[in-house]
Amino acid sequence: MPHPIYIINGPNLNLLGQRQPEIYGAQTLSDIEVMCVAHAKTLGYDIVFSQSNIEGEIVNALQDGGANGAAIIINPAAYTHTSVALYDAIKSIDVPVIEVHLSQPHAREDFRHTSYVSAAAKATISGMGARSYILGLDAAAHVLSNS
């Protein structure tokens, strides 16, 4: 089996299913993890799934994924719009990084229209709810098969 695909989740995503379900949906982060494990297996990959509310821990996860993973899918949540540290971490690793979002940031508040992560990521998928993660896995597998 190839190196795993890392799926890294940012702040407040541990509250999925109870926090603003009208925006983020009713699925929990655990539901999304189960869905991702199953889909990754169909693609021939294992995953390493994590979540943190702490920016430095997310940087550590990115660095670990860069050293030990085949690709990274990241939902940086609110750090999307604020974190130069995540941008720098992504720019410093050699595996493809796919940014995903449950909602469509450009359809929301103006401050959500800027993404530091998008400037460093290979691709961005947003607005598809939990399916954004499945599309992120498909995108990662596509990039890996064409590299």
Residue 88 has pLDDT above 80, yes or no: yes
Mean pLDDT of the chain: 89
Backbone angles phi, psi at 7, to 5 degrees: -120, 115
> Looking at residue 98, which CATH number applies to its domain?
3.40.50.9100
pLDDT of residue 109: 58
- Average pLDDT estimate for 85-96: 97
pTM of the model: 0.90
Q: How many domains does the chain have?
A: 1
Q: What's the pLDDT tens digit per position in 45-78? A: 999 999 999 999 999 999 999 999 999 999 999 8
Q: Which of 24, 79, 116, 133 is catalytic?
A: 24
Q: DSSP state, 78?
A: G
Q: Which of 6, 39, 87, 101 is catalytic?
A: 101
The two tokens of residue 120 are 């460093």
User: What is the C-alpha separation between 76 and 6, in angstroms, rounded?
Assistant: 13
Coil, helix or strand at residue 13: helix
pLDDT of residue 107: 47
Q: What's the pLDDT tens digit per position in 97-139? A: 999 998 766 545 564 546 778 789 999 998 888 999 999 999 9
The two tokens of residue 42 are 């169909």
pLDDT of residue 17: 81
Active-site residue, 101 included:
yes
Domain limits for position 72: 5-145
- Average pLDDT estimate for 140-147: 92
Give the relative orientation of helices 29-43 and 131-145 as an angle to the nearest 10 degrees: 30
